[in-house]
A and B are shown apart, each in its own frame.
Chain A
Amino acid sequence: MTTDSSSRLAIETVGLTKRFGDTLAVDDLTLRIPMGSVFGFIGPNGAGKSTTIKMLMGLLGKTAGQARVLGFDVAGRCEAVKDRVGYVPELHFVYRWMRVREVIYFCRSFYKTWNNDLCAELLGLFELDEHKKVKHLSKGMVAKLALLLAIAHEPELLILDEPTSGLDPIIREEFLDGVLRTICDRQKTVLFSSHTLSDVQRLADAVGIIHQGRLLANCPTEELLTGTKRIRAVLPDGCSPDKPPEGTIWQRFRRREWLLTVRGFSPATIEYLQTTYLVENIEVTDLGLEDVFKDYVRGRRASA
């Protein structure tokens, strides 16, 4: 059954947990991705991104918690989910012996919503030779074929799991153009996991940062970038920073220089530092998504 609240959410997980023996790959993950949004899912290697995505696609069983995709419980209605979702994995295992046109024929037969015109358009756009065998395609061309297969049935949700890893910049650009076309032309919901944070910053309107299976941040990209600042403060001699301001996600103190990254930055943060530590010099700089991500992960590692 699809409830009113969950039908407006493309993805909803509550306490989603996955354990491989003693290793906790995903730890109590609660995530809500509304319909029509582009969600960037970022984290270091082994953070649990792919595991989460595989659980959402019903390719991996969960240890605990719940996961609903497009209102369907993935544990029970996997086929209904796969019918409505386009998925591009990190590694492509399309049948290598098939020709491109055979792969298309094979996949087309499973989708009622397959759009032949769109498929032909994407074949042209991606310059894919229909007569070539998959095993004769380059890695980039296979990635583009996987994207074509994911998009051509006009899914309600597109899930991309590090789809551009290992691709050269030109292919990556063409791939992202394909994704952008889908988002812009058809107002699709996209879950996009990547290590290329410039891509995520370019595409995503909300970002989730995951580390060691736990979600560290989940908010709109704009809010994350405008609200997170790097502060460089020079403290008086003999002063040690024992009480960082609220929202500090990472800090480093060397000699008298105190570097902090603060989430939810406001003028009150500066005021707090000046009144508490009699700071001699203070500088505030903006951060890109890459720096924010690094500081979240470094801060988490330091506190662990």
Chain B
Amino acid sequence: MKALLWKDCRVNLFVLVFGIVMLLSPFLTGLTRDLYAELRYGTASWWEADGWVIISLVSLGLSMLTVAMLAGNAMAAERTDRSAEFLAYLPPSRRAVITSKIILALGACLLIWTINLAVIYGLVPLMPGLPEDAYAASDGHPTNAVPGLASTAVVLFGIAWFCSSFLASPAISTGIGIFSPLAVAGGLQAVEYFFHPPSLDFGWWYCVICVGLGILGFVAGTVHYLRRVEP
């Protein structure tokens, strides 16, 4: 398993580096901005809590591409250069191979989310100057975007993973993954337009459909990869 994980890290090296850049660049931009303001004007807002929440949300938004790329690359990348054929005649079982891929892809995505959620719900509330009811349900607060972003990430990952289980192109798998939340949103818009349901909670249905499709895609992709004979 150690060797498989090492191999998967190396295969996804570019995506992992890209992911780190996407994860950290909003924070670095915020810090640079504040550092510049401090040095130039002495007016940096270092402890402005809402600013950090927005930076974390931007980081999560930018990391969507990383999530889709990790899932899209998982199985298809090795089919592109046919190194999957080399791996296929080595002894590790399909179960071991996919476990390693799941640990890497899901682990990296969870890490991205854990860091950002830790900032939003762990670090920011400790900062002075945050209103007590900052996280109460109110339409205006930026944290309200978290469920939508999370369900978008789930559908991106699940659909890209599913496509990666049978396609030979990581770009196409990733592309379909990126397109999937747009398709869900478009589908809901179409339902609203054509059928005029009396009370369609767009946001709630979007989250439910995205999470459902994402989980279904992940399970179906994993089962398909385990069952298929060809690499």
Chain A residues close to B by CB (< 8 Å):
57-61, 78-79, 82-83, 87, 89, 91-98, 105-107, 109-111
Contact = CB atoms under 8 A, between A and B. Distances in A.
A91 B84 CA distance: 13
A110 B3 contact: yes
B89 A79 contact: no
A93 B85 contact: yes
Query: Which of A93, A96, A98 has the most C-beta atoms of chain B within 10 angstroms of its own C-beta?
Result: A93
A79 B86 contact: no
B90 A107 contact: yes
B196 interface: no
B91 A59 contact: no
B231 interface: yes
Given A93-B86, A110-B90, 8 more contacts: A58-B229, A59-B89, A61-B230, A93-B83, A93-B84, A94-B86, A95-B11, A96-B81
Interface of B: 2-3, 6-7, 10-11, 81-86, 88-93, 229-231
Contacts of A89: 85, 89
Contacts of A96: 81, 83
Contact of A87 (B89, B93, B230): B89
Contacts of A91: 82
A97 B14 CA distance: 13
A109 B83 contact: no
Q: Which 9 A-B pairs have the closest CB atoms?
A: A61-B229, A109-B3, A93-B82, A93-B86, A82-B91, A83-B91, A110-B91, A93-B85, A87-B89
Contacts of B230: 59-61
Which label, helix, strand, loop or mixed, suits the secondary structure of the A interface? loop
Query: Which of B10, B84, B89 has the most C-beta atoms of chain A within 10 angstroms of its own C-beta?
Result: B89
B83 A95 contact: yes
Nearest to A57: B89
A95 B93 contact: no
B3 A105 contact: yes
Contact of B93 (A79, A92, A94, A107): A79
Nearest to A103: B86
A232 to B, nearest CB: 47
Nearest to B86: A93
Contacts of A95: 7, 10-11, 83, 86
A256 B191 CA distance: 84
A60 B229 contact: yes
Contacts of B3: 105-106, 109-110
Nearest to B1: A109
B90 A82 contact: yes
Contacts of A110: 3, 90-92
A59 B88 contact: yes
Contact of A109 (B2, B85, B89, B229): B2
A96 B78 CA distance: 11
A92 B91 CA distance: 17
A60 B89 CA distance: 11
Contacts of B85: 59, 89, 93
B13 to A, nearest CB: 9
15 contacts: A59-B88, A59-B89, A59-B229, A59-B231, A61-B229, A89-B85, A92-B86, A93-B81, A93-B84, A95-B10, A95-B86, A97-B10, A98-B10, A106-B3, A110-B3
A118 to B, nearest CB: 18
A105 B4 CA distance: 11
A61 B231 CA distance: 11
A94 to B, nearest CB: 5
A92 B92 CA distance: 19
A195 to B, nearest CB: 21
A97 B85 CA distance: 15
A230 B141 CA distance: 92
Nearest to A107: B90
Contacts of A109: 2-3
Contacts of B6: 106
A106 B84 CA distance: 14
A224 to B, nearest CB: 30
Contacts of A57: 89
A72 to B, nearest CB: 13
A166 to B, nearest CB: 16
A89 B83 CA distance: 12
